[in-house]
Amino acid sequence: MKRRLVATPGAWLVWGAVGFFFVMLAGVIGSVLVSSFGRRWFDTWLPESWTDQWYGQAWTEFTLPAVLVVTIEVSMLVVLISVLVGVPASYVLARRKFPGRRLLYLLFLLPILMPPITYGIPLATVLYKYGFAGNMSGVVLANLVPSIPFVILTMTPFIEQVDPAIERAARMCGARTWQVFARILAPLLVPGILAASILVLVRTVGMFELTFLTAGPDSQTLVVALYYTMSAAGIRAQQSVDAMAVIYTSMMLVLLVVALRFVNPTQLVARVKEDVD
């Protein structure tokens, strides 16, 4: 006999709230998308006509090629440095037992758990004091603060899953430390390194607070340039601003889809909860 599943009023309320949220989200994104292709749009459900000229105008008016180049350069530098620093640190945390190890791990998690603005202002003050802020080096240094912990958080479980007996066997055969790491551990950790790199890339492209506080005129990433475009004085077509917003949203969606193919968010949450407990 088939059993009928009857939802409780609480379940209907939850699903209704979730559905309302997604409808509102789709409405906001849809209105921006439609506006970016509309020629005129006044008091009607849809624009009077359609055009793609706003994307070309945004491309030239807001110097998007230069902004995209800066965004890519900053992101790649942050990813590279974060992996070079975070992977060895993850290895130490995964393989070595020492006093204060759990406390040190929790300290690494603080930049992830805390809102960036709480430590972004004092960090930017220090960077400006020593002449690092206002250029690309300041943006990279500021974004490394949460990015390196992201790498450590992602890589530590991967390293813990590798049997230490493999390393001991390699050492018994005469392999040195760098040979063990380069020829044995590195190939096994490629999925973890790729996942960590994608996470850092997504976070860096979408990081507004730290980049806004430390960027100069020639070191603005796409999200900061979008903010300045919306808040700057002067008259500009709203459709061209919407086109820029669509470009940024599309970039973030692509990065998020790629990230979710390599990273399971529930594993990261479980890992944070385990270390906090």
With vertex at residue 236, the alpha carbon angle to CA 230 and CA 240, rounded to the nearest 5 degrees, is 75
Distance between CA 213 and CA 199 in Å, rounded? 22
Of the CATH numbers 3.40.50.300, 1.10.3720.10, 1.10.260.40, 3.10.450.50, which one belongs to the domain with range 53-276? 1.10.3720.10
Residue listed under structure tokens 């009077």: 48
Residue listed under structure tokens 């037992």: 97
Contact 272, 153 (CB under 8 A): yes
pLDDT in tens, 49-99: 788 888 888 888 778 888 889 999 999 999 999 999 998 888 888 887 878
Average of per-residue pLDDT across 6-23: 82
Going 99 to 102 to 104 to 105, the CA torsion angle's sign is positive
Distance between CA 33 and CA 26 in Å, rounded? 10
Domain boundaries, the chain: 1-51, 53-276
Tell me the average pLDDT of the chain.
82
User: Which stretch of 38-42, 150-154, 194-198 has the lowest confidence by average pLDDT?
Assistant: 38-42
Distance between CA 152 and CA 144 in Å, rounded? 12
Q: Is 50 helix (H, G, I), strand (E, B) or coil?
A: strand
